Structure 1
Amino acid sequence: MIIAIDYNIMFVALPDIGSDLGFSAQNLQWVISAYSVAFGGFLLLGGRATDLFGRKNMFLFGLFLYAASSVLGGLATESWLLVAARVVQGLGGAFLAPATLSLVTTLFAEGTERNRALAVWGGAGGFGMVLGAILGGLLTDWFGWQAVMWVNVIAAGAAMAYGTGILPKTAKATTNGFDLPGAVVGTVASTLLVFTLVNGPEAGWGSGTTIGSLIGSLVLFALFIGIESKTAAPMMPLRLFTNRNVSVGTTITFLFMATFGAYAYFLTQYWQVVQGYSAWATGFAFLLPSGCVLIGTVAAGKLMNSYGARKTLLIALAVGFVGTAALALTMTQDSSYLVIAVPLIVLSLGQGVIFTAMFAAATTGVANEEQGIGSGIATTGQQIGGAVGLAVLIAIAAGAAGGETTDPARLTDGILVATWATAAGIALTFLATLGLKKPAAAATQVVASGEAAGDTNSVTAPAASAPASAPAPASAPAPAPAVSERV
């Protein structure tokens, strides 16, 4: 919820932050992107640290970094100080996100129980988006943009106090040691890659900085893969990618944030710059889509139990595409809120369902002792996707608007082109989702063939030879102790 609040609350406050601290139109994106660079760059380290040092410990450490950086941001009087605070906040998120997700995925058994838990987890994020939309406008209008930073101090402090008492102590992984070379090289490589993709549109894709950082990240990634393939205790076990759900699921999280996640920036520009909404009014304008995201995240658990994660994702992506295309067809400079409300409802419901289902898919078949790094890999795709999508869509919109950022008519043209580009990205995500496994169908086929042969052993024999990454058949989940017993 805290991470989701921060996401929406910062978008609403951006115009006031830009004018108060002297950001240029192009540099303003670094209030968002600095967070994304640090978050995406350190997620692998945060995920592995969660497995090695305990999920509860890393959960509390991430909250501490979040609270401390929010104090720094609330006191910032220069643009660079706020960007620095957002970097530290991103570090906190890099430890907090995989710790939170892996706590959910390890405390609840894979299948129906975990789907329900993930729906609650996703619902907390959806509620955070609603709360962030409201608080962003109210706090910015009443107390100034600094208040959107101070609210994190209160929320993170409360979560630390509550989590210390209620969360069970989690075991630390037994390993042959900590992969320090892999941790350093992998973190620097990820950070350089995100920096390249975020800074490229501003500095120019042919600039020395962009080319140098890109080459550096690719070289370091190659070195990282070499280290991970040889070390006895890799930070990121490469065999995880032999699980198709992990690799495809991470691609989905990347594309999701590059489309749905980045589009909130353009809604803020549309309402505040094109239509002249105040920060307060913009916050309430976000209330409808954020509320629909909340409904979608909660509904995702029931949908996955009925149709499975793969089919649920395909349905939700189709709904999201229809809503985004309809929004592009109805959004004009003078469109009333009621005119675009229906497309916003449709795309937001799809967005909410996808958010929960994509993480269920990406963590399926991952062993409990590796849920931290598995969650870190999936969330890395999410954060890098957000940075890439925002940078690319801003470049597309700027090109369509002729570089104009103040003229409402030209800016509307750029936003419309970015909306169509978002719809195209959602269609690409639909195609990627087709690559997820269909475990339920495979299980049914195995059972049927065993019955036809009249040999009960033939039902279990294929399962015994299946790869370790394959999820258990939905029709015969492994028995698990009650939640209270495990806690």
Structure 2
Amino acid sequence: MHASSGTDDIDASIQDGTRAASWTPMIVIVLAQIMMIFNISTLQVSMDAIARSLGTAATTLGTAIVTYALVVAALILPGARVAQLIGSRRVFRASVGLFGIGMVVMAASFDVTLMIVAQVIAGMAAAMLVPTLVVLVADNYRGHQQAKALGWLGGAPAMGIVLAFLLAGTLTGWVGWRAMFGLLAALAIALLQFSNKLSAERKPMHVDIDWIGAALAGTAVVLISLGTSHLSSWGTLLARPDAPFSILDLSPAPLMVLIGVFLLQAFISWSRRRRELGQDSLVALEVVAGTSERAAMFSIFIVSALASAITFLIPLYIQVVQGRGSFETALSVIPFSVASFIAAVMVVRLKGRLSPAHIGRYSFLLVTLGLALLGATIRNDWSHSMVIFGMAVAGFGEGALVTLLFNVLVTASPRELAADVGSVRGITNNLATAVGTALAATLLISLLEGSVHYELVHTTELPDEVTAQVDLDSISFVSNARLERVLADTDAAPEHVAEAVRINTEARLLALKATFFALAGCALLAFFPAGALPGYVRDSTKRGASSVKDEHHHPTASSPA
């Protein structure tokens, strides 16, 4: 199998007029991608252990994840231009080194503030690294090898999540969560040593960085992310007591989202104006000029938001609801991650039978079905076969979409726009990660609060003097053990504690189920927009040879289904 693959690469290279390149640079590139994935995955799989160590709630870890994704999304566009300014290999070394520093700070964190600082550092590094990896693939490979390399880069996240959850879960249970971040710092050092294997073909070039555009895009991303992440605590419409300020009694959260969307539109308009004047823009809007490319961007946002919500909610469920450790959490996510990786590898073969539009629609239906199964069957017993099956179905749809959409964007643009494709995909993915995690947490806490308040109003088991001693304005997703510790400082009798635990148990499960159903609805809404993806079918037997559109020979040709 390996021999035939190598022969295919050589034959394709001969046809392209190039010589087959070594796969060593691709190993370095994929490891850099996996390094970034391990950071977030470790936070997800070890959230309960980290929360206990730092003396905070498990849901606080969602703030760290959102912070990382927010920084990446805000800085990724100027980061791509910096790569052009000083050279892709130099940026790779600088960003990997900075990421390593962030992991050292993370391993040494003794409170939430330092942990968030570490994620800010890592996010700054990733903002430069994400688009640079796409450029490095274009620099090191040509023709058939480049297409294969892009496929592996697109499938690396699914593969990395499987490894990250297993390794991070094992190390957290045996050694502690800090060991995993120490290993990531060591991996950064190793990548610096092997960075000389990367091609230095693309030399630094003069680039006029659009700082006004960078300010517009960065501010928009920050406002949208912060607004969505604080909808629950600051208020979805009217300002709550925790809101830092209010405008005519309105919550600042929805206003921030509104202003952020406005600034994003202003950034697009500003970029178009600069291009018309012959000036450099922060990103080449040509990469999303077509209907198919815009459909791919929308689909990337939806599937990335859903995936981040799933990988946030499941660890929270396993560790808080079931009270299990990091290793059990890692095992619980395997059905989703393995199915995602398998689909990411297999979806390329389907392109000879189905169009990207059909694959996209079917994949979103699979994600919808998987999320609906989770909402319908999730209980306090994780071994339930239908829950595992639901995870696998959702993962299979997600993995197919990730690789498909990445290939649609890359094959639609020329090689010189590789950095722009990488930055656009990166900002969409990371903004979606921030929004998906924030909205999942917000929806979960809102449903939990509503359920708890309803129970307290309609139950007669808890006396008013006990409920008065509990802060009902700051209800969070906590374990029964932690709730019992809180009630131990009140006047609650044993029977009152038991009733409060019952309310907490039922309310948590109801909130989780409703959240999964809401996510399923979001996946279903993407079904028809996915139909605008390219409608060609490679090597179709239903049409004449002259009517078949091949994405490699006609990269800009696409037709909506």
TM-score range, shorter chain: 0.7 to 0.9
Distance, in Å, in 1 between the alignment partners of 2:334 and 2:69 is 24
2:82 maps to 1:82: no
Task: Give 1:64's aligned amino acid.
Answer: G
Matched residue, 2:508 = 411
Choose the corresponding residue for 2:168, options 136, 139, 143.
136
Matched residue, 1:199 = 230
Could you tell me the TM-score, scaled by structure 2's length? 0.74
Matched residue, 1:103 = 136
Task: Give 1:61's aligned amino acid.
Answer: A
2:166 maps to 1:119: no
Distance, in Å, in 2 between the alignment partners of 1:323 and 1:338 is 13
Task: Give 2:101's aligned amino acid.
Answer: A
Matched residue, 2:556 = 470
Distance, in Å, in 2 between the alignment partners of 1:198 and 1:368 is 36
Using the TM superposition, name which of 251-260 and 358-367 deviates more: 358-367
CA contact (8 A) 2:166 2:331 kept: yes
Deviation (angstroms), 1:37: 0.9
CA contact (8 A) 1:102 1:371 kept: yes
2:530 maps to 1:438: no
Deviation (angstroms), 1:252: 1.1
Task: Give 2:41's aligned amino acid.
Answer: N
Matches within 5 A, 1:47-196: 47-104=80-137, 107-108=140-141, 114-162=146-194, 164-172=195-203, 177-196=208-227
Using the TM superposition, name which of 390-399 and 203-212 deviates more: 203-212
Paired residue secondary structure (2:219)? helix
Task: Give 1:470's aligned amino acid.
Answer: T
Choose the corresponding residue for 2:400, options 353, 362, 365.
353
Matched residue, 1:2 = 35
CA contact (8 A) 1:245 1:363 kept: no
Paired residue secondary structure (2:113)? helix
Matches within 5 A, 1:371-386: 371-386=418-433
Using the TM superposition, name which of 168-177 and 79-88 deviates more: 168-177
CA contact (8 A) 2:351 2:537 kept: no
- The 1:471–1:148 alpha-carbon spacing in structure 2 relative to 1, beyond 3 Å, is farther
Distance, in Å, in 2 between the alignment partners of 1:235 and 1:471 is 25
Distance, in Å, in 1 between the alignment partners of 2:170 and 2:539 is 52
Deviation (angstroms), 1:28: 3.3
Choose the corresponding residue for 2:519, options 380, 405, 422.
422
Matched residue, 1:252 = 299
Using the TM superposition, name which of 168-177 and 284-293 deviates more: 168-177
Provide Cα deviations, 1:160-199, integer angstroms capped at 9, x if missing partner. 222x222111414756633233233332332333222223
Task: Give 1:271's aligned amino acid.
Answer: I
Task: Give 2:392's aligned amino acid.
Answer: I
Using the TM superposition, name which of 240-249 and 354-363 deviates more: 240-249
Provide Cα deviations, 1:22-59, integer angstroms capped at 9, x if missing partner. 33455332121111110111122223333444333322
Paired residue secondary structure (2:280)? coil
- The 1:113–1:306 alpha-carbon spacing in structure 2 relative to 1, beyond 3 Å, is farther
2:380 maps to 1:333: yes
CA contact (8 A) 1:321 1:427 kept: yes
Matched residue, 1:456 = none
CA contact (8 A) 1:47 1:98 kept: yes
CA contact (8 A) 2:356 2:535 kept: no
Matched residue, 1:295 = 342
Deviation (angstroms), 1:104: 3.0
CA contact (8 A) 1:333 1:408 kept: no
Distance, in Å, in 2 between the alignment partners of 1:253 and 1:106 is 25
CA contact (8 A) 1:122 1:298 kept: no
Unmatched 5+ residue regions in structure 2? Answer: 1-33, 240-245, 247-251, 450-474, 479-503
- The 1:76–1:335 alpha-carbon spacing in structure 2 relative to 1, beyond 3 Å, is closer
Matches within 5 A, 1:316-331: 316-331=363-378
Deviation (angstroms), 1:384: 0.9
- The 1:7–1:79 alpha-carbon spacing in structure 2 relative to 1, beyond 3 Å, is closer
CA contact (8 A) 2:165 2:333 kept: yes
- The 1:472–1:135 alpha-carbon spacing in structure 2 relative to 1, beyond 3 Å, is same
CA contact (8 A) 1:260 1:422 kept: no
Deviation (angstroms), 1:263: 1.0
Distance, in Å, in 2 between the alignment partners of 1:185 and 1:179 is 10
Task: Give 2:171's aligned amino acid.
Answer: L
Matched residue, 2:415 = 368
Task: Give 1:43's aligned amino acid.
Answer: I
Distance, in Å, in 1 between the alignment partners of 2:292 and 2:145 is 19
Deviation (angstroms), 1:326: 2.1
Deviation (angstroms), 1:238: 3.1
Unmatched 5+ residue regions in structure 1? Answer: 451-458, 474-487
Using the TM superposition, name which of 212-221 and 338-347 deviates more: 212-221
Provide Cα deviations, 1:284-314, integer angstroms capped at 9, x if missing partner. 2223332222222222232335534333323
Task: Give 2:313's aligned amino acid.
Answer: F
Deviation (angstroms), 1:277: 1.2
- The 1:324–1:136 alpha-carbon spacing in structure 2 relative to 1, beyond 3 Å, is same
Matched residue, 1:476 = none
CA contact (8 A) 1:247 1:362 kept: no
Task: Give 1:317's aligned amino acid.
Answer: F
What is the root-mean-square deviation in Å for CA atoms of aligned residues?
3.1
Paired residue secondary structure (2:411)? coil
Paired residue secondary structure (1:77)? coil
Matched residue, 1:270 = 317
Using the TM superposition, name which of 264-273 and 290-299 deviates more: 290-299
Distance, in Å, in 2 between the alignment partners of 1:378 and 1:65 is 22
Paired residue secondary structure (2:533)? coil
Matched residue, 2:260 = 217
Using the TM superposition, name which of 46-55 and 206-215 deviates more: 206-215
- The 1:306–1:199 alpha-carbon spacing in structure 2 relative to 1, beyond 3 Å, is same
Deviation (angstroms), 1:80: 0.5
Task: Give 2:94's aligned amino acid.
Answer: F
CA contact (8 A) 1:333 1:409 kept: no
Distance, in Å, in 2 between the alignment partners of 1:50 and 1:306 is 38
Deviation (angstroms), 1:414: 1.0
CA contact (8 A) 1:243 1:365 kept: no
Distance, in Å, in 1 between the alignment partners of 2:415 and 2:400 is 24
Paired residue secondary structure (1:210)? helix
Matched residue, 2:486 = none
CA contact (8 A) 2:139 2:202 kept: no
Matches within 5 A, 1:441-456: 448=546
Distance, in Å, in 1 between the alignment partners of 2:136 and 2:355 is 22
Deviation (angstroms), 1:471: 4.2
Distance, in Å, in 2 between the alignment partners of 1:106 and 1:303 is 28
Task: Give 1:16's aligned amino acid.
Answer: A
CA contact (8 A) 2:139 2:199 kept: no
Using the TM superposition, name which of 280-289 and 176-185 deviates more: 176-185
Matched residue, 1:230 = 273
Paired residue secondary structure (1:375)? helix
